[in-house]
Amino acid sequence: MITREELIRSKEYWLARLQAMLYQQVEEYLKENKMTKSDFAQKLGVSKGYISQVLNGDFDHKLSKFIELSLMIDKVPLLKLEDIEKILLLDKEEKLNEKGSSATGITKSYNSDVKRAKEEPGWVVNDSDETKPD
């Protein structure tokens, strides 16, 4: 069985998080704009099958395609690189405190980013449930 630390250190974990973020943002965009997958595919100039792959998480984008998809849904991708030891420490603190009632660690950072995103135009937040405790 893989440890939480091994999971956080794996490229698959971070790829899945990015895919989940993109999925959620595309779904939200389709809903807000009352678009079908076919409409969205036509707007992007891709097949409906490709959009289905995106929404099913069955893809591995080039960075340029990720940026293109983000821009098509009126979002900008902001990338922040963090020291992995910091993330492991935040994750560990969160696991130790998850029985408490207050938000800690990564969740606290997430909540802070959500608040900032609502207050400052241009901020993009990963709303994926994967940023919250299991």
Q: For the chain (length 134 residues), average pLDDT per consecutive 10?
A: 89 85 89 94 89 77 80 86 89 73 47 53 44 37
* pLDDT at residue number 36: 93
* pLDDT at residue number 120: 52
The pTM of the whole model exceeds 0.85: no
* pLDDT at residue number 2: 87
* pLDDT at residue number 40: 92
**Looking at the domain covering 4-72, what would its CATH class be?**
mainly alpha
Q: Give the span between the Cα atoms of 105 and 69, in whole angstroms.
A: 30
What are the start and end residues of each CATH 1.10.260 domain in the chain? 4-72
* pLDDT at residue number 35: 94
Contact 86, 94 (CB under 8 A): no
